[in-house]
Amino acid sequence: MNVVNTDLVIKARGLSKNFGNLAAVSDLDLDVPRAMIYGFLGPNGSGKSTTIRMLCGLLTPSSGSAVVLGTEVPGDTEALKPRIGYMTQKFSLYGDLTCIENLRFIADIYSYPREKKAARINELIHKYDLTAQVHQFTGTLSGGEKQRLALACAVLHKPELLFLDEPTSAVDPKSRRDFWASLFELVEMGTTILVSTHYMDEAERCHRLAILDHGTKVADGTPTDLQASTGMTVIEVLADNPARAQALIKRLPDVTSVTQLGLKLRVLIPNTTPEPLSLVTTMLSEHDIHASTEEVPASLEDVFVAVTQKKRAPETSE
């Protein structure tokens, strides 16, 4: 899908949140265009959930501001709530209510027109494959079923902007794949989605993403652009003794990172290093390690390692 609409749904400048001495989010600038999936990629504790809660109006920033759907945050968040949907990381629907009872309850919260409520709920039950579970208590649903119900509730009132906080952290691979298919359908209908994740394969599905590390945005762009601008040469090594090869490569002063993936090693070396492939090959050959080496394109995991290492480099040099 080619997204050409440059209308910004979210614009944040200098957004920060402190909890005592902890800076959960620091000086965040953010531009999210309309009708796309914008991803927050980062590990637990990187500030993804805190940022989403500030943009929803659930947390007051310590400094900075944001405009969400034309509404200033903090500001008139009551006017914003009917226009956004929010699916929390932890399943938050009522386990002692059935699926249809939860949907009816959410419809009442959003004051969905009474004459249209039954048809809308029936539409969502079929769309998100909940027909067999419609009268089942929510607390007894599987992880994938809970996920589909939570998404149905989040979009019941047809929000313009949907916030999803690590929505697939507790479901199986097929449920994750089906869930993302549903997200692309929503985008095709004009919904803007901001989704946080720590899964690299999910980040690759986003039209654009920001990488967060310890509350700071360290990269921002399309997955393709980020992969092309790591500033690193990525070398893949297939060695007969990967553990020993990894230990030897780590001795090289120019190496930023060495990671083992199955039988292969991925080595990150700054682009400023002359002949990086020869550097690795020579080191292994001198120690009688039989290996094949080649330069390969960067993955998003490589991007994440590269940008977080750059951010921490001044701290480790002191």
* pLDDT exceeds cutoff 50 at 276: yes
Greatest Cα-to-Cα distance within the chain, rounded to the nearest angstrom: 78
Q: Residue 2 pLDDT more than 50?
A: no
Sorting pLDDT into bands at 50, 70 and 90, what band is 311? low
| Of residues 211 and 75, more confidently modeled | 211
Domains, the chain, with CATH or none: 8-226 (3.40.50.300), 231-297 (3.30.70.920)
Cα distances from 111 to residues 44, 106, 116, in angstroms, run 35, 9, 11
Rounded average pLDDT over 297-314: 79
Residues 6+ apart with CB under 8 A from 282: none
Mean pLDDT of 87-92: 87
Bigger pLDDT: 243 vs 89: 243
Strands 208-213, 216-221: pairing is antiparallel
pLDDT at 140: 96
Residue pLDDT, tens place only, 201-227: 899 999 999 999 999 999 999 999 999
> Is residue 74 reached through a cis peptide bond, with omega within 30 degrees of 0 on the bond before it?
yes
pLDDT digits (tens, 9 = 90+) for 150-207: 999 999 999 999 999 999 877 888 888 999 999 999 999 999 999 999 888 899 999 9
Distances (CA, A) of 308 to 27, 146, 190: 16, 34, 33
Q: Is the pLDDT of residue 315 over 50?
A: no
| pLDDT confidence of residue 318 | 37
CA–CA gap between residue 292 and residue 286 (Å, rounded) = 14
Decide if 234 contacts 225 (C-beta within 8 A): no
Q: What is the pLDDT of residue 43?
A: 85
Residue 134 neighbours by CB under 8 Å, 6+ apart = 98, 99, 100, 125
Q: What is the side-by-side strand order in the sheet with 161-165? A: 84-87, 161-165, 192-197, 37-41, 208-213, 216-221
Q: Give the other-Cβ count within 10 Å of 183's Cβ.
A: 20
Instruction: Please give the pLDDT value at position 4.
Output: 38
Under 8 Å between Cβ of 10 and 66: yes
> In the structure encoding, which two tokens stand for residue 195, read together?
């989704």
pLDDT of residue 9: 96
Instruction: Tell me if residue 125 falls in helix, strand or coil.
Output: helix
Is a pLDDT exceeding 70 seen at residue 60? yes
Return the pLDDT at 168. 87
The pLDDT value given to residue 310? 65
The residue behind tokens 């001044």 is 314
pLDDT of residue 133: 96
The pTM score is 0.88
| pLDDT at residue 89 tops 80 | yes
Percent of the chain with pLDDT over 70: 95
What does the pLDDT read at residue 198? 87
The gap from C-alpha 57 to its chain's centroid, in whole angstroms, comes to 20
Distance CA 150, CA 154 (A): 6
pLDDT at res. 150: 94
pLDDT at residue 257 greater than cutoff 60: yes
Calpha distance 276→62 (Å, rounded): 44
pLDDT at 316: 37
Q: What is the DSSP letter of 198?
A: -
Cα 252 versus chain centre, distance: 33
Residue-level pLDDT at 6: 47
